[in-house]
């Protein structure tokens, strides 16, 4: 009976189309098109005869779809992402703040988006003006003397900054051998030192999670090129003896590099240039609100003191005698170029729009709100989770999972469970000086109501950890896919799609029925 009634029903269960979008290649059909080229206004050419043996005959499995199918494909994919626009993204160290839309609008103005990096200086005054104004603002915000906008991201800024350090020491006759890095540092710091040809000497933190001054004094010698210090540190603590740290380094001719990943805790309240920093990078995609975009692009300007200015990458923006702006390439002591052209210019536009929208009062209030939010979370949750360092913290708070781990619930589990409550996870297991770290950075973009929701969720999760640990250990339960097998992904890497052989049967999608 049923067979007749539902005659023609496909064998494979129809799945929730939005939740089971195939790969773009699997949706492709020969002959479909999403483009039409303009009519050619010059004679067509015979590519085969012009290119000879260099001519290509086939483009493999490149997709063929219509425009509506492409829109649906990527729109459906987008709905599988969590985002700041959907809710709080308390990833410590990543500074997931609101990305204002005016920034996107001005970056797409034709005269800006269509500017070619080699167009004449006389026709680039707008772009150069944007760079100059942003530079001036960032120099004032950091209290430094000079800046380059060229580095493409934070780690690239670190690379550039350490090259400046190296060039400085080299100009004094000895590049020196090692860079000191606290054990609380981001992984990019030691990786950067290595790329710049330096040895890494690890500096242990003291009981407050700060630089151990005695240990620093013992370690700094004439072979030390610099200390790479994140301030406030990755546990959110301001190094209150910062000037002593600078003095110890300077006494031995070493320099103080500041990783500016946490600059959003300081803007408008204090300036690294005033407290002894010689060189630092900024992350425009953290402190200055340029969007993270699923992993990039970033931008990592490097600001420095006068002593390092001669070594900045080429070109630098200069004001010519007639008042016009220009790009100066003749810099004999420069470390060279770290990227083609002038850096991730589109990010400069967005960061400048953000600075203008805030002004001095807005930037200060932004910093204060970020610190207020983090301290509010800390105050509300310090009875629920262990707080390994009780030192005063600024823009983020790092708890540990020690109390919950007794029931077998780890920081990673609780982070995943937070997803079920509608939040992104906090940063899990970093910094490494805190075993089982739960690193929470709310940023200024959260209202009190949102903070209370996060606090309630984390309290609820702590209770679940006691009463029903398995619920937390197997989270998330509400997402399109559940925990993914990362071990097999690494052991048997499948890094691209391949067309199934014609004879090969398509694998049954056992999970699809749930949808």
- Smallest gap from Cβ 247 to other proteins, in A, equals 13
Q: What is the distance between the alpha carbons of residues 146 and 310, in angstroms, rounded to a whole number?
A: 10
| Binding of other proteins by 174 (CB under 8 A) | no
| Binding of other proteins by 502 (CB under 8 A) | no
- Residue 9 or 333 having the CB closest to other proteins: 333
Q: What is the distance between the alpha carbons of residues 349 and 110, in angstroms, rounded to a whole number?
A: 13
Contacts of 85 (CB under 8 A, 6+ apart): none
- What values do phi and psi take at 427, rounded to 5? -75, 130
- Residue 360 or 406 having the CB closest to other proteins: 360
Q: What is the distance between the alpha carbons of residues 433 and 235, in angstroms, rounded to a whole number?
A: 9
- Residue 254 or 281 having the CB closest to other proteins: 281
Q: Of all helices (H) and strands (E), which one includes residue 352?
A: helix 345-381
| Binding of other proteins by 440 (CB under 8 A) | no
| Binding of other proteins by 310 (CB under 8 A) | no
- Residue 9 or 78 having the CB closest to other proteins: 78
Other C-beta atoms lying within 10 Å of the C-beta of residue 376: 17
| Binding of other proteins by 42 (CB under 8 A) | yes
| Binding of other proteins by 212 (CB under 8 A) | no
Among 204, 252, 269, 320, binds other proteins (CB under 8 A): 269
- In DSSP terms, 279 is beta-bridged to 257, 304
The answer to whether 238 and 232 have CB atoms below 8 angstroms apart is: yes
Residue ranges of alpha helices (H) inside 101-153 are: 101-107, 110-113, 125-142
Among 18, 82, 253, 403, binds other proteins (CB under 8 A): 82
Which residues 96-135 are close enough to bind other proteins by CB under 8 A? 96, 98-100, 102, 104-120, 122-127, 129-130, 133
Per-residue contact flags (x/-) with other proteins for residues 405 to 434, judged by CB under 8 A: ----------xx--x----xx----x----
- Smallest gap from Cβ 3 to other proteins, in A, equals 29
| Binding of other proteins by 336 (CB under 8 A) | yes
- Smallest gap from Cβ 5 to other proteins, in A, equals 31
Q: Quick one: 213 exposed, middle or buried, by C-beta within 10 A (0-12, 13-18, 19+)?
A: middle
**Binding residues for other proteins, total number by CB under 8 A:** 207
| Binding of other proteins by 65 (CB under 8 A) | yes
Q: What is the distance between the alpha carbons of residues 8 and 27, in angstroms, rounded to a whole number?
A: 22
Which residues 220-259 are close enough to bind other proteins by CB under 8 A? 237-238, 240, 242-243
- Residue 359 or 466 having the CB closest to other proteins: 359
Encoding tokens for residue 101? 């839309």
* Strand 302-304, strand 279-282: pairing: antiparallel
Q: What is the distance between the alpha carbons of residues 297 and 346, in angstroms, rounded to a whole number?
A: 9
- Residue 5 or 33 having the CB closest to other proteins: 33
The CA–CA distances, whole Å, from 153 to 124, 207, 282 equal: 24, 32, 9
| Binding of other proteins by 6 (CB under 8 A) | no
Structural Rg of the chain based on CA atoms: 27
Which residues 362-401 are close enough to bind other proteins by CB under 8 A? 362-366, 368-369, 371-373, 375-376, 378-380, 391-392, 394
């Amino acid at each position: 009976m049923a067979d007749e009634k539902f005659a023609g029903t496909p064998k494979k269960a129809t799945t929730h189309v939005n939740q089971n979008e195939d790969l773009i290649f699997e949706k492709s059909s020969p002959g479909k098109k999403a483009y039409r080229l303009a009519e050619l206004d010059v004679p067509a050419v015979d590519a085969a005869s012009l290119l000879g043996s260099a001519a290509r005959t086939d483009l493999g499995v490149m997709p063929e779809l219509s425009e509506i199918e492409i829109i649906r494909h990527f729109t459906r994919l987008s709905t599988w992402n969590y985002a700041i626009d959907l809710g709080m993204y308390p990833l410590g160290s990543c500074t997931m703040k609101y990305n204002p839309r005016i920034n996107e609008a001005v970056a797409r103005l034709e005269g800006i988006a269509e500017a070619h990096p080699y167009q004449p200086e006389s026709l680039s005054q707008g772009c150069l003006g944007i760079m100059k104004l942003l530079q001036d603002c960032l120099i004032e915000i950091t209290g430094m003397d000079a800046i380059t906008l060229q580095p493409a991201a934070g780690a690239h800024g670190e690379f550039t900054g350490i090259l400046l350090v190296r060039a400085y020491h080299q100009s004094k006759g000895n590049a020196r051998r090692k860079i000191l890095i606290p054990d609380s540092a981001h992984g990019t710091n030691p990786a950067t030192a290595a790329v710049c040809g330096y040895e890494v000497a690890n500096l242990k933190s003291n009981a407050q999670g700060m630089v151990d001054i005695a240990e620093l004094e013992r370690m700094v010698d004439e072979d030390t090129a610099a200390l790479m210090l994140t301030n406030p540190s990755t546990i959110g603590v301001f190094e209150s003896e910062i000037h002593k740290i600078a003095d110890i380094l300077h006494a031995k001719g070493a320099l103080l590099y500041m990783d500016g990943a946490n600059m959003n805790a300081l803007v408008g309240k204090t300036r690294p240039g005033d407290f002894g920093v010689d060189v630092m990078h900024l992350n425009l995609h953290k402190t200055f609100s340029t969007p993270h975009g699923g992993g990039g692009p970033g931008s990592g300007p490097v600001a420095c003191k006068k002593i390092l200015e001669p070594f900045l990458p080429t070109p630098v923006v200069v004001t010519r005698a007639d008042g016009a702006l220009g790009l100066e390439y003749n810099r004999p002591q420069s470390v060279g170029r770290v990227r083609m052209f002038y850096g991730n210019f589109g990010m400069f536009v967005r960061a400048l729009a953000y600075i203008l929208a805030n002004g001095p009062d807005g930037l200060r209030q932004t910093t204060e709100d970020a610190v207020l939010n983090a301290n509010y979370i800390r105050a509300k949750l310090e009875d629920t989770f262990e707080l390994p360092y009780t030192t005063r913290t600024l823009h983020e708070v790092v708890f540990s999972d020690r109390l919950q781990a007794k029931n077998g619930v780890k920081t990673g589990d609780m982070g995943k469970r937070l997803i079920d409550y509608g939040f992104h996870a906090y940063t899990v297991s970093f910094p490494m000086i805190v075993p089982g770290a739960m690193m929470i950075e709310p940023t200024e973009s959260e209202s009190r109501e949102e903070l209370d929701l996060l606090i309630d969720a984390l309290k609820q999760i702590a209770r679940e950890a006691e009463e029903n640990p398995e619920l937390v250990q197997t989270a998330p339960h509400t997402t399109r896919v559940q925990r993914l097998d990362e071990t097999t992904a690494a052991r048997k890497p499948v890094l691209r799609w391949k067309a199934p052989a014609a004879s090969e049967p398509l694998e049954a999608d056992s999970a699809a029925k749930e949808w």
